[in-house]
């Protein structure tokens, strides 16, 4: 939330793997995830209460809690163009914000959830301002939608 991934690029949610160098992570993206079917099912699969990334995080948490080790294969590279999870960008970002707060609330106390929501909100507002100042209006709108999702929930799909 504070942009520390720029100082520590191999830690946190935005860790960037270096090909050929091992990296220990708490969860792996489902964009290209290989798990034996029996293990996936025994761990409960993806939690459908969460959307875009948070179901991956929840699965990773359950795997770790079950004593499993998550291994990122940095010797295999799979290109990912991104943006393939559906919907208009602002709707997607609002859904992601809502899902993030659902996941955080699922794993933490109300006080911790409130503190994390505030931290994420401050960081998102700063990103939104930066995007606007740099002339990236679409990105600024996407950050605004993420913020809406964190505070108002998912957009009305009707």
Per-residue model confidence as pLDDT tens digits over 95-111: 999 999 999 999 999 99
pTM of structure: 0.76
Q: What is the pLDDT of residue 154?
A: 81
As a whole number of angstroms, the distance between CA 46 and CA 145 comes to 24
Of 81, 90, 104, residue with least CA distance to 32: 81
Distance between CA atoms of residues 149 and 145, nearest Å = 6
**Distance from chain centroid for Cα 17:** 16
Q: Are 23 and 9 in contact (CB under 8 A)?
A: no
Res 118: pLDDT = 96
pLDDT value for 43: 94
């Amino acid at each position: 939330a504070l942009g520390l991934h720029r100082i520590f690029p191999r830690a946190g949610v935005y860790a960037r793997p270096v090909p050929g160098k091992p990296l220990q992570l708490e969860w792996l993206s489902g964009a290209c995830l290989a798990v034996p079917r029996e293990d996936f099912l025994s761990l409960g699969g993806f939690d459908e209460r969460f959307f875009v990334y948070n179901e991956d995080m929840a699965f990773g948490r359950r795997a770790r809690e079950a004593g499993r080790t998550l291994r990122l294969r940095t010797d295999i590279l799979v290109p990912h163009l991104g943006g393939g999870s559906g919907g208009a960008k602002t709707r997607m970002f609002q859904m992601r914000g809502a899902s993030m707060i659902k996941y955080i609330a699922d794993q933490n106390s109300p006080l911790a959830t409130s503190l994390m929501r505030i931290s994420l909100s401050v960081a998102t507002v700063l990103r939104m301002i930066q995007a606007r100042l740099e002339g990236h209006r679409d990105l600024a709108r996407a950050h605004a939608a993420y913020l809406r999702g964190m505070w108002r929930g998912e957009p009305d799909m009707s």
